[in-house]
Every structure is written in structure tokens, then in C-alpha cells.
Amino acid sequence: MSMTTIDEAVNERTYADYSRPLLWRVFMTREFAIIALLVLVYFYAYGNVANFDGPLTLYYLFLDMAPIMLIALPMTLVIITGEIDLSVASIMGLTSVMLGIGYHDFGLSMPLAIVLALVVGTVCGAINGFLVAYVGLPSLAVTIGSMALFRGIAVGLLGTEAITDFDEKWTDLATQRIGGDSSYPVILIAFVVLAIAFAILLHFSTFGRGVYEIGLNDQTARFTGVKVERTKFCLFLLAGVVSGFAGIFYTLRYGSARGDNAEFYELQVIAAVLLGGVSIFGGRGALHGVIAGVLLIGVVSSALRLENVSTNITNIVIGGLLVLSVISGSVLSSVSNLRQRRAARARAPVKASHRSGQPDDGEKAASE
Amino acid sequence: MTNEARATLVLRDVAKSFGAVAALRSATLVVHPGTIHALVGENGAGKSTLVKIVAGVHRRDGGEFRFQGDDVDFDSTAESKAAGIAVIYQEPTLFPDLSVTENIFMGRMPHGRWRRIDRHAMVAEAEAIFARLGVDIDPRRPAQGLSIADQQIIEIAKAISLDASLLIMDEPTAALSGVEVDRLFAVARSLRDEGRALVFISHRFDEVFELCDTVTVLRDGAYIDTLAVDETSADEMVALMVGREVGDLYPKTPAEFGDVVLDVSELSSRGVFRDVSFQVRAGEIVGLAGLVGAGRSEIARAVFGIDSYDSGRVRLAGKDVPRSNPRSAIAAGMALVPEDRRQQGLVTESSVTRNIAGVIRRQFARAGVLTTGMENTAARPWASKLEVKTGALDMAATTMSGGNQQKVVIAKWLATEPTLLIIDEPTRGIDVGTKAEVHRLLSELAGQGMAILMISSELPEVLGMADRVVVVCEGEITAEIDRSDATPENVMHAATHVHGHEAGASTTDSLQEGARA
Amino acid sequence: MSETLVKPSEASPLQRAVGGALRSREIAVFAVLVVLIVVATVKSNSFLFGGDGWRDLLVTPAILLVLAAGQTMVIVTRNVDLSVGSTLGLTAYLTGRLFVDQPSLPIVVVFLIGIAFGGLLGLVNGILVAGFRVPALVITLGTLYIYRGVFLEWAGSDRINPSDMPSGFLSLGTKQILTIPVLTIIALLVIAAVGYYLHTARGGREMYAIGSDPDAATLYGLAVTKRVVWAFVICGALAGLAGVFYAARYGTISSGAGRNLELEAVAAAVIGGVAIFGGSGTVWGAAIGAFLLVTIDRVLPILGIPDFWQRAVVGALIIGAIVLDRVLSARQERALIEARDR
Amino acid sequence: ASIGLTACGGDDDGGSGGSGGDGGGDITFLPKNLGNPYFDASTTGGEKAADEFGGSIEEVGPDQATPDSQVSFINTAAQQGVGALVVSANDPTAICDALNEARDAGVKVVTFDSDTDPECRDVFVSQADAEGIAKKQVELIAEQIGESGEIAILSAAANATNQNEWIKLMEEDLAANYPDIELVDTVYGDDDDQKSFDQTAALLSKHPNLKGIVSPTTVGIAAAARYLSTSEYKGKVALTGLGTPNQMREFVKDGTVTEFALWNPEDLGYLAAYTANALIEGDISGEEGDSFEAGDLGSYKVGADNVVVLGEPFVFSKKNIDDFDF
Ligand SMILES: Nc1ncnc2c1ncn2[C@@H]1O[C@H](COP(=O)(O)OP(=O)(O)OP(=O)(O)O)[C@@H](O)[C@H]1O
Ligand SMILES: Nc1ncnc2c1ncn2[C@@H]1O[C@H](COP(=O)(O)OP(=O)(O)OP(=O)(O)O)[C@@H](O)[C@H]1O
Ligand SMILES: [Mg+2]
Ligand SMILES: [Mg+2]
């Protein structure tokens, strides 16, 4: 019982690092389930969907999913802190327009126009971040508002116009393949770099530990010295920058800057993140799951499109996956709870039949 | 036997575990109509858990539960309410957006024609209950912004309005002033005289002696004994609660005091505390005493930088500590073990490692980058020094007992190797053994020259551990008493008297005079 | 719902009334609405007085009014329903199909079927959310996709044209009683009913309690699951009603029907002072918010602001509304703390 | 495995249906969006043509008329290696690269209804030449309002290529030939029923003196007609433009609309399918001067800019509307 003094006890107790074997830790996770599903669907499609094995499939899949993959990275962090950003697609639209205006109307060079667009994306993120982190407003409500605001500015600025006269060099860059003829567009390089950066940020940095702590218990995080406001602000800022980058890619890929570019992408991004195993309440999730979630959506849509199945069915499948993915978690945990309770009861059966059989020691002093 | 058949409530050998924590092992409680039954036990003895089982919040894992002669097994609080059980929970549970009246009648609002709720009838009844309790609360105002005491009163009003045959009160008086307590007791007695059964939980023995007929003692989730209040003494009750000599619990070793480490001067925060000044020296344990709600935790939070303050200054080892910036307080050498372990101390769903390394990770990370391996390496010695009982470092804190969780929190803060340790309710909800360990640890740390500011609502703990007692009442410091001069009487007196006027009425004196063990 | 928080004795009744009114979100939003209408009318007489001006002013918001009422109910319980737009589309199409396939059905029956069908979709949401205790945002995002997918798959390129529906039904879209359009009257009745329920029925007050503090609601023994399921059912049913409205008003139902209305419904509630995290706000507020949103859309072109900028104005308005809310509640909090200090 | 077999079987069917090489004869129709009766009619026409020449038609498309969603369908067609893609463009530029990639993959690209930039497609099958369409609509509205007064245009999406070109030509025509007619406003209903409807209402309240509305889009004219028919403006404000007889029948009969124009979208799809087939078969290369047979419609010649023109727009009125069903 007695406690040894602080200085002596170092080797009194030893602790294992992990309670479960490595394989268990790797395979028994939400993330792994999604990755397994992705692999399964991919190989099923590879074997059974005509033309899925063609050289263009992966190329188009990555090109189509690139903006969602990119934005899913910061969105994962935002959702892990328990917040949400619905305005990302509008930021894409606005940066797209700014790129067009910067290049076409202001006559900026392409790199300068890109910088301008990125700055606009950053400012958008900062506005969200300020309102959520420092003013303390609910992010769902704030970003519903800023979603309309940013989109409105984008559409307002460009009106009916579409700016299309971008320099070929740049629009080609957006669709270029790595090494000239592989299945991988160059945007993947940007994605991989960002993914590694975000993975380090989230999983291997003090900042990332703070992100999880804020999502699980922001009071404790504050007591521990995590700068809750600043962290949230930074994440919204990052979401703004990356959305801006995605907006630039989008514009160059289609060679067309329009106010309504990338409309409704926000729900796809969020669906992908949640499908990847991130909890909407915050505190749980990992980037590899999210990337698998995005790719799963990409593979399913691509395969179904190749089968000439309509978008509607694709949407039903994605919606169904989303619902199932949250429900399965809840069902599994309630089943295991139930089992635990049963086990506890079996250990100590409720003595309902026991009736005043023995002398009652609780009674002896009762004054009546 | 016949006696028990007439009992309102019979609980026997009730067991309840939360994951790895066994909150109740074999608890027994028999309550008769027309009596007020005290339930006592240390923090974490399982009193509240027992109450929640009776209320239908938790379901027991095993044991017997009879109410008015019938075997029952409540699935929800609605069922227990319907059966005639009213409960005042330890923590007020109010709906901040709804009016006081609605809070009282929620779930059973009377309605008239067209299923329209009858607001007039509710308000009238609420006013009647408030009149009976002798308090002046506008029944139409929203519950948001009520003081803890007012919230507690509403809990009481809620329970009384239920017209139940069993009324359970889990520490209802913790935040009340003398007059309010008096009124409550008068109401409780009249309910008893109507033939209802009451269960009263309190840490204040004077109240137990004044109000109750019978007392049941719990220790570590197990039944110890049931006594008639007339036939027992406070000393006997304490012996039963603690299970050994009380002296053991407070292994205070005398220490040399060094320089002033913490210097708080004229700290004020509007509506929370005023003109708070005190000092803590190296090697000294300063106890911050007072009633629940006096504002001690708020002072600690302001000093540490969680909350801001309006004026005054905080200095640590002669240097100013910036306001509302916990990270610079930590850098300056402060550590704060907060009062609410689950909400403030731990990320309960996170692993032991991550919790322990939570503060120091910024030190061992290289350019902000770290790995789980580095965290394990950093956390392991501290887990070991505090003898945290856990299977592996990646176990979530949820799986551990309260005492172990508290050790994790202490480990997390000691790992920062602070010069000043602020520890708020160091032993709340932990078992007797661990309690003694924590006390010994504090003593040792002070012996090694650490300055310690200890906030505690347990007078014996304050008296047993502190070198100096600073008493807070309604946000003001009302006394500073040396260890040698400190008695339960003078501390309690200061805790209930603000300068000039009295917090309660004159009856407070007589109430507190009964003093504590 | 906007009671003052300071002790009653501290302000004269007049002060209290004035202060309360000024602090009331509903009144502030209503004032903006009135100003907007006045300005538009000054600018262009016909906005209010000309021809169909009065009618259109009242009838255009009818659909959003109904949706906002349902959404309020769900938000009050600390949930959200993003699937209402899809539900509306699906029901509108069902309505059209009913007229095509069962031309003899009385209009009232079609209304009832629409409501019941919407309620059914809401029930699915409710069971998923409350039954499995999973976040409403995720579930209804999923059903948003699913319901719309089902709708499009079912409707395909099939479009319901005005000629497919009886003129008696279509005329509901414009018919007026005492110059007030029928659809608006129904919408106002719905608002009144929902408002009455939320304000004066046990179930309504319990919904506020659930949204205010779900854990406490469980401690009180409230039937949380049941109430939340009900909120979703009502919200779905109202979206169904809105679908029937849509059919009557626009006459043409194609795959785009109801797209993106969900966020507008949420926005209307938020502008009207319904707290996104539940527990407070009124359906009157949401109704005024809906009215304001729709009217802004119609007024901006008259004020010479190109309609491209409409959304920006709406966004700014939403953010302004939330910030205002925060400022007001911070002021109240400070007043309370100061009151305690005395 | 069985699914795999059927999928591969489908592939084989395509091969046998066409005459030249892999998958030839497979034609994919990609309208602006699905759920649009105008394109339903054109696809029906395409299917009729395919029956005649023995090809197969697949209709795919996004549920909303946005350019990026069209791109993924173009990509898919390229992956599938279909014989030809018949597309009505949502954006002249945004889908250009994708179309060129498809062409690189051996897919013949025919645009119809709404064109892309000429270098992105092999042939454009035009419903009528743009000038003809613009002139006809101006002529109709001028006649209906007596050649003087305010008019407005209710268009589709702000970026629709064909709409914008027509609007431009209409403006020029008005300026040159109808000095008393003033075009006061152009609004966009995005080919969305509700939006077009509300835009009509807004137009009328904003311009109390409005005498006529031209809506060169089938969704817009139907929504506008529906609004007018229930308002006091019925019969006072003229409405014309491009509409389908089925959608407009009711309004022509109740007097909201007297005359409107359109070509037969079925014929348009029919001609586009024949054009695509001619490209696949190698009968034409798409150059100016090539000519081919288009079934019942007779023989067509590829004009300047590789455009094939269906013919003059047709004017519908009370007298003839019952003769059509699309
Ligand atoms: N929901 C829970 N999950 C896990 N452990 C719990 C839970 N509730 C209580 N416990 C644990 O059960 C034990 C008994 O707690 P309980 O609240 O019943 O004690 P108590 O006697 O009421 O103490 P106090 O005097 O401090 O109120 C404690 O160790 C506590 O940490
Ligand atoms: N939720 C709340 N709403 C309103 N006032 C509160 C609330 N919590 C605390 N207070 C007020 O803040 C002051 C200090 O409360 P608190 O309970 O933290 O004090 P304490 O002395 O630390 O008590 P404890 O013994 O619980 O540590 C009191 O005046 C109390 O009424
Ligand atoms: Mg307790
Ligand atoms: Mg405290």
C-alpha cells in the first residue's frame, strides 16, 4: 500500500507498451475495414467490370477525386476537433473565380494569379476560423452562412461569364501524367506531399495530439496547455488554403473559371471523411482511413459508371455506405456492451428470489 | 423480518461495476417509512452509485432491490418516478434554456383542455414550494445563470413536488447557506411526519446528527453497518467509514519553508472573487478551505490561466505570470491537478501514455514531431513512480478506477517537474488506501521543496495536511490560519462568514458548532 | 420565449417590455423584413400593390415556411435533418404520379398521402438517429443521397406537366381567400400548430428539454427516443406537405425539385434565432427567417442588385444573425454576473 | 464470375453490332442532364435511327447540368471505347480536353443542340442555324406585341453556349430592325422549374410595363407560361420562345401563349445518330463538303465549321399543336 518515494521507484513496475498484439491493432480497426472494403471492391471491379482494367481508369479516377482527396485532408482534422466546415466547395468556387479574374481581368501572370487565389482561399479560411475559434460560434451554423457568402461572391463577381482563356501550359499541367504516360496524374504528387504533411501533423506531432484532445475533451485540452482557439483557427485556415489549391486545380483541369464551379462538393468531402471512420463528434479517426474512404467512393462511382449505371444508383450506394458505416459502429458497441452486462450478471446473478430469509443486520439498529 | 417487510426500500448485496471499476461490491440499505436515513461514506464509497441504481439511472449487476415490498428493476428514471421515488442528484441537472417552473415539472407537466400545459397551475405550485422552502426565486426565469445554491434549491423543489413516498437527497446541502439548510430540514421533517421515507447523504456529521434517525455506513462499495443516530458518535462513524485509525490518513511530515514561490495579490474577477491575496512558499502546503461554491476552484483556475481575471497579479518565483495563458503558467513552473478528473484532468478515452505525456510532450518532441514510442518512453517512468495500476500503456483511462485515474493525472503534472503544484480536491472519489498514498506523496513533495496549494472540501484533509489554511467564503478570503491554530471551529466559522455580514443567519453558528471529526 | 434574465424587481415593467422586445431575435428579424418590403415597395410600387405583388409576396415563402417549421422541431431536439429537400422532391413527384395513375383520387387524399409518405421517410431518419444513437448530421446526409437517388431513379426523365394534374389542384397554387393565398394559409396554420405544440404541449416542452441537455433529459426519465423520432416524423411529414405544395405551385415536377432546399431550411431557422445546438428558439422566428430569406431573393433585383449577388447577401445575413445572437447572449451573461456580485 | 461473363458478353455484342473494329457502332448519348424531356425526345430519335442502321444507343448523363459532371461521363465513354459520343455541351471549354482525349482514344465526337469549341469535336449537328433561331423568335415576339414596347429574356444557365449566342443575335436583330422594342432585362432560370418560375414572377414585378417575354429554353418557357397563366398578366404579357408541344399545349389552348417555335428534337437526335454512324463507318470524315444519308430525313451535307444543320425551326400554334407528341 505504501508509496515509494519518487526517486527510488523507477523499476518497481514495468508496463507493456500495448495491450493487444500488433496484428490485432492493425486489423481490428475501422480504418482497416474501409481499406479492406476498398481492396475488395477494386479487385471485384477489376475482374468483373468491363474496361475497368483499362489504362484510363485510374487516371480519370485520380483526376476526378483529386479535389475531394485534397480537401478531405484538412477536413479530417477539422472534424476530429469536433467542428465542421461546409464552406469548402464555395471556397473552391471563389478561388476559381479569383484565378480567372486575376489572370484575365487584372492581367497577372499565372503564378501571381495562383498566389492571389491562394490568398483568397486563406482569407476565407481565416474568416471561418475567426468566427468559430475566437468568437466561439457553432461551426455548422457559421459555415452554412459562409458557404452562401463565398459562393455568392464568386457568382456575383463573374456573373454569367466563364473565363476560359488560360495559358495552355498551365491547363495541360493539371491533367499531365507523371512520367508522361503513366496512369497517375501529376496532381497526385501534390496530394502525396500534402498527405504526408498532414499525416505527420495529425499523427506524429504535438499539434496533432492536441487536435485529438480537443475533440475528445476540450476542457482537459485547455488545462493541459493546448491552445484550443489557435488550433481550431489554424485548421480552418488550412481548410481554406487547401480548398483554394483544389479550386485552382479544378479551374485548370477544366480550363474554365466559373462561379458555380465545384458546387455541392462539400457534402461529398464530408461523406468521404465520415466513411473513412472519422467520428462526427470528434476525437476519433485517422488519415489512412479517410484516404481509403475517398478512393472507395471514387472506385464505386467509376465502376458503376462503366457499367452505365446511373448516377442516382451511385448516390444511393454512397448514401447507404455512409449510413451503414455509422450504424455499424453503434450496433457493434451496443452488442459488446450487452455481452459485457450479461457476463457481469452471470458472475453475480440478481437475487430476485431472495426474500427476507436471514436475520437482517441492516435492521438491528433501525429505530422505530 | 417483519420489520423488513414493512420497509419502503430494501437493497441487499447490490453490486455495480463500470468497466474495471467496481463502484459497489455488496451494498445494503434498508429504509423504513417515517424515518430519515443517513447514508455516509467517504468520497467514492459508492453512495451516489447506489442512489442512481434506486433511481433507475444505472442497472445493478447483482443483488436484491425491493421497493414497498415488491422486487423491482427499474429500467429508466421514469419508472422509478412513477413508482414514487424522488431523487435529488449530487450534481444539479437542469435544463438551462427552460424556465424554473418547467424544470420542476418537466416530464409530468399538468395539462388542461386541448392537452395544453397548465402554466398557471405550475407557477402557482412552484411558488408554493418556494414559499415553503422560504426562498425567493422567480419561477418564470430561465434556469440559465442560476447560482449553484439556487440550482440545488430547484432540485429540492423538484423532488418535493413529486409527492413521493421515498425521497433521496444526495448531498443537498453542500452548496446551501444556513437558513436554507434550516428550511430544508423543516420540510424534510414534515415529510417524515407524513410517513414518508427519506435518505439523506451528507459529509457534514452535524447535519446527520441534527436531522437523521438512522445511519448506514458504506466503505469501498460495501456495506459496513447500520446504527441508530442517538446511539453513536461522530468518532465511531468515522472509524467505520475509514476502517482504521484516522491518524494514518494524514502522514504529515514537517518541512522547511523556503522563499515565496507563488504570490497572488489583489486578484479580482467580477462576480466570482474579490481582492484575493495570499502566498505559498517553497516546501509549504497551503490549504484553501471553504464551502462548495465559495470560489476556490475559480481562484485556482485564474491563477493557472484557464480563466481570465479583471485585476490583480500573479507572480511565480518573482516573475509575473501572464493572464489567461495556461501554457506560460506551465512554462513558468506551475501545475494544476483540477477538481473534475473526468472533465478537466483526463482525456478519458485516450491512453495512459497520451494522458501522462500530455503536458511534457512539447518538451521531448523534436521540432514538434513525436511518435508513440517516444511518448511511451517519456510516460513509463512516471506511471511507474506513481504505481499506476494498468495492464499496458495503451489502455484507455476509462478502464481504470478513480484512484488510478487520479494517479495518472498527478503523474501527468509531476512529469512537468513543477515548482508549484496546485491540487484541487486531491482525493475526491478515491479509495482510502490511495488517499493515504496521495497524502504521503504531497507531504514528500513538499519535503523536497515543492510549493503546494491544496484545495479541499474535506476539513480533516485540510487540517491534517496544510501548513497554513486560507479560508474562502463567497469569493473573499476571510481568514488565514496557521496549522497550529487551525481548528474545525475557526475554519468553519470563517468559511461561513464574510467580513461584516454573515453568509447565513445566526443559526449557522449553532449548526457549525457541532463541528466535524 | 424571450424572458429577461435579470431579477424582475430591478427594472420597471415598461423597461422590461422594451428591453425584451429589443433583445428578441424574432422582432429584430421581423423589423428587417418590414424594412425590406417597404424599401422594395418605394422603389417599385408593383412589388406590393401591383397585380400579383401582394399574392406573390405571401405565396412564394409558403414552401420554405413549412420546411422551416419542421426543421425547427428537429433542431430544437439538438438534431438536424438534411434530407428534407430530397423528401420534398420525392413527395412532389409522388403527388404528380398519383394524379397521373389515379386520376379519380380526391385532392384531400393526395395531400394526406403526401404527408404520410413524407412522415414515413422522416420515420426512417428518426429510427436511424434515435434508435441507433448516431449523429443526425451523418444519417440525414446519407438519406439525402439515398432519397434523391431513389427519386431520380424512379422519375428518370419522366416529368410531370401541369396538364397531368387536375386544374382544381393546380389552382390551389394561386387561389386566394380574402386576398391571402391558400397555400400561405395552410403554411400559417402549420406554423401555428407546430408553434402551439412546441410552446404549450408537454411533448413540445420535452423536446426543448431534450435539446437543452440530453443527459439531463435521460435523468428526468423523458422518453428521449420517442420524442426525437416524432420530431423527425413531423419534419418529414411537413417536407411531404411542402412537396405537395411544390406540385401545386409549380405544376412541373422534374428531377431538380427540392434540390438544396435543406440548407435553406436550416438557414431560415438559424436566422430566426433557433439555436443550432438545440433547446431554444421558436417556430415563429424560423417562419420569419424563411419569409426573410425568400423575400430577399425577390427584393434584391428590384433594388438593382443583380441576382448573382443574392446568395452573398443571404450568407452575410446568416453570419450576421449568429454573431448578433452571440453578442446578445454575452450581454445577458454579463448582466447576470453583475447581478450576482451585488 | 457469371457477372463477369455477362459483362464481357455485352462487350462482344457491341463488337458484332458495329462494322469497323472494336466496339464500333456503340453510340453514347450524353445530354446536358437527365430528366429533361427535350433530351428524352432526342434520345428517342437516336434510338430510332440506331434501330434502322443496326447500332446501339446508350444514354448516360449527370443529374445536374454542370460541366464537371459531364466530364466524367466523357471519360467513361473513352474508357469503354465506344464508337461515338453524341453530346450536348454544358460548357464550351470545360469539356473540351476530355472530348479531345476521347477522340485520341478513337471515339468519334458529335455535338448536338449545344456546341463546344469547334476544335473539340468532329461534327456539330445544329438544330437550325443560330441566326435562323434568333430571327424566328424576334419575329414571333415582335408580331405578338405589335413591334413596340419592353421585352425581357428568360434564359437557361448563364453559361449555356447556344443560349448566349442566340441572345446576342437577338439583340443585334432587335437593334437593327425593331427600334421600338426595348430589351430591358435578361434573367437566368438555370433550366430549373422553380427558379425559372420565380424569375418570371420577379421580372413582372420589376418591370410593370413589360409587354413580352422570350424564353429560348423549353424549361423556361414552360415555367413562365405556368406563372403567366395563373396571374393577371395572362393574355396581356406575350410569351414566346422555344418549347415542346406537350409542355405548352395547355397554355396555347388557354391563350397564355399564341405561338412558339422549336425544331423537332426527335429529328435532331435522329440526325445526330446518323451523323455519328456515318463517322464510325468512315462514310464521312466530318470535313466541310462531306455528305451522307440520314434515313427518313434524306441527305445532309456538312457545312462550314463542320456543322450539319437540321433545318428551319418550326412554329407551333393552336392550329397545329395537336399534331405533335413530344
Ligand atoms: N459512470 C461511471 N463510470 C465509471 N466509474 C464510475 C461512474 N460513476 C461512478 N464511478 C466510480 O464509482 C465509484 C463510486 O462513485 P460514487 O459517485 O458512487 O461515490 P460517492 O460515494 O457518491 O462519492 P462522493 O462522496 O464523492 O459523492 C468511484 O470510484 C467512481 O469513480
Ligand atoms: N454553472 C454555474 N452557473 C452559475 N454559477 C456558477 C456555476 N458554477 C459555479 N458557479 C458559481 O461560481 C462560484 C464558485 O463555484 P465553485 O463550485 O467552482 O467553487 P469552489 O469553491 O471551487 O467549490 P468546490 O468545493 O466545488 O470546489 C460560486 O459563486 C458559484 O455559485
Ligand atoms: Mg456522490
Ligand atoms: Mg471547486
pLDDT on residue C51: 60
**pLDDT above 60 (res C116):** yes
pLDDT, mean of each 10-residue run, chain B (517 residues):
72 83 86 91 81 89 87 86 87 84 85 79 88 83 77 84 87 73 85 90 82 89 88 81 64 82 91 90 91 84 92 92 91 91 86 92 88 90 86 81 84 93 83 77 91 87 90 89 86 69 36 35
Q: Does the distance separating the beta carbons of A1 and B436 come in below 8 Å?
A: yes
Edge-first strand order for the sheet with D210-215 is D181-188, D149-155, D210-215, D238-241
Q: Which residue has the higher pLDDT, D36 or D51?
A: D51
D161: number of Cβ within 10 Å: 22
Which chain C residues are Cβ-neighbours of A138 within 8 angstroms?
276-277, 322
- Find out whether D236 and D218 touch, Cβ atoms under 8 Å: no
In the block, residue with C-alpha cell 476530355:
D98
Spatial separation of the C-alpha atoms in residues D90 and D158, rounded to whole Å: 10
Chain D residues near any Cβ of chain A (below 8 Å): 1, 3-4, 7-8, 10-11, 34, 58, 60-63, 66-69, 71-73, 75-76, 78-81, 91-97, 105, 158-159, 164, 188
* CA end-to-end distance (rounded Å), chain D: 42
D182: number of Cβ within 10 Å: 14
- Find out whether B211 and B63 touch, Cβ atoms under 8 Å: no
Contacts of D229 (CB under 8 A, 6+ apart): D250, D251, D254, D256
Q: Which residue has the higher pLDDT, C14 or D302?
A: D302
Strand partners of residue B269: B273
Q: Does the distance separating the beta carbons of A54 and D79 come in below 8 Å?
A: yes
- Which of A260-274, C48-62, D198-212 is least confident? C48-62
Spatial separation of the C-alpha atoms in residues B69 and D169, rounded to whole Å: 93
C-alpha cell at A62: 485520380
pLDDT on residue A306: 86
Cβ–ligand 1 distance for B429 under 6 Å, the answer: yes
Closest CA to C249 of D231, D157, D260, D210: D231
State how far the alpha carbon of B277 is from the alpha carbons of B226, B480, B498, in Å. Answer: 45, 10, 15
Cβ–ligand 1 distance for B43 under 6 Å, the answer: yes
Mutation choice for ligand 2 from B297, B471, B491, CB with most ligand atoms inside 8 A: B297
Q: From the CA of B203, give the closest atom in ligand 1.
A: 25
- Atom 22 of ligand 1: nearest residue by CA position: B48
**pLDDT above 90 (res C203):** no
Going from the Cα of B46 to the center of ligand 3, the distance in angstroms, rounded, reads 7
The residue type found at A98 is M
Which chain A residues are Cβ-neighbours of B387 within 8 angstroms?
3-4, 9, 12-13
Which chain C residues are Cβ-neighbours of D63 within 8 angstroms?
152, 255
Spatial separation of the C-alpha atoms in residues B138 and A355, rounded to whole Å: 48
Contact exists between D and A (3 or more beta carbon pairs < 8 Å): yes
Would you list the DSSP string of D9-56? Answer: HHHHHHHHHSSSSTTTTEEEEE-SSSS-HHHHHHHHHHHHHHHHHT-E
Pick A319's closest partner by Cβ from C133, C145, C321.
C145
The secondary structure of residue A5, as a DSSP letter, is P
B46: left (phi over 0), alpha (psi -120 to 50) or beta: left
Contacts of A355 (CB under 8 A, 6+ apart): none
* CA end-to-end distance (rounded Å), chain B: 34
Percent pLDDT > 90 in chain A is: 48
**pLDDT above 90 (res A312):** no
Going from the Cα of B442 to the center of ligand 3, the distance in angstroms, rounded, reads 24
Binned at pLDDT 50, 70 and 90, residue D1 comes out as very low
Going from the Cα of B216 to the center of ligand 3, the distance in angstroms, rounded, reads 15
pLDDT on residue B177: 67
pLDDT on residue A68: 95
- Find out whether C63 and C125 touch, Cβ atoms under 8 Å: no
pLDDT on residue A365: 36
A299: number of Cβ within 10 Å: 24
- Atom 25 of ligand 1: nearest residue by CA position: B43
Strand partners of residue C253: C160
Q: Does D326 touch chain C (CB under 8 A)?
A: no
Which ranges constitute the DSSP H helices of chain A? 22-27, 30-48, 56-80, 88-100, 110-129, 139-158, 168-175, 187-203, 206-216, 218-223, 228-254, 265-275, 287-306, 311-347
ipTM surpasses 0.90: no
Phi and psi angles of residue A330, each rounded to the nearest 5 degrees, phi first? -70, -40
pLDDT on residue D16: 33
**pLDDT above 80 (res A4):** no
In the block, residue with C-alpha cell 422505530:
A368
Spatial separation of the C-alpha atoms in residues B436 and B442, rounded to whole Å: 10
Strand partners of residue B217: B40, B225
pLDDT on residue A185: 92
Q: From the CA of B148, give the closest atom in ligand 2.
A: 31
**Mean pLDDT, range D117-130, rounded to an integer:** 86
Pick D60's closest partner by Cβ from A60, A64, A308.
A308
- By three-state DSSP, how is residue B225 classified? strand
pLDDT 10s digits, A82-138: 999 989 999 999 999 999 999 999 989 999 999 999 999 999 999 999 999 999 888
Q: Does the distance separating the beta carbons of B270 and C279 come in below 8 Å?
A: no
Mean pLDDT of chain C: 82
- Find out whether D212 and D149 touch, Cβ atoms under 8 Å: yes
State how far the alpha carbon of A188 is from the alpha carbons of A59, A184, A257, C86, in Å. Answer: 10, 7, 22, 34
Helix or strand holding residue C136 (H, E)? helix C136-155
Q: From the CA of B299, give the closest atom in ligand 2.
A: 22
- By three-state DSSP, how is residue D266 classified? helix
Q: How many residues does chain D have?
A: 326
Cβ–ligand 1 distance for B428 under 6 Å, the answer: yes
Residues 218-247 of A with CB under 8 A from B: 219-225, 227
Cβ–ligand 1 distance for B51 under 6 Å, the answer: no
Q: Does the distance separating the beta carbons of A280 and C137 come in below 8 Å?
A: yes
Q: From the CA of B429, give the closest atom in ligand 1.
A: 26
- Find out whether B96 and C215 touch, Cβ atoms under 8 Å: no
The packing angle between helices C310-341 and C25-43, to 10°, is 150
Q: Does the distance separating the beta carbons of B359 and A351 come in below 8 Å?
A: no
A interface test, pick of D75, D85, D104, D120 with most A CB neighbours within 10 Å? D75
A interface test, pick of B385, B416, B452 with most A CB neighbours within 10 Å? B385
Spatial separation of the C-alpha atoms in residues A272 and A301, rounded to whole Å: 13
**pLDDT above 90 (res C126):** yes
Ligand number with the minimum distance to the CA of B428: 1
- pTM, rounded to two decimals: 0.83
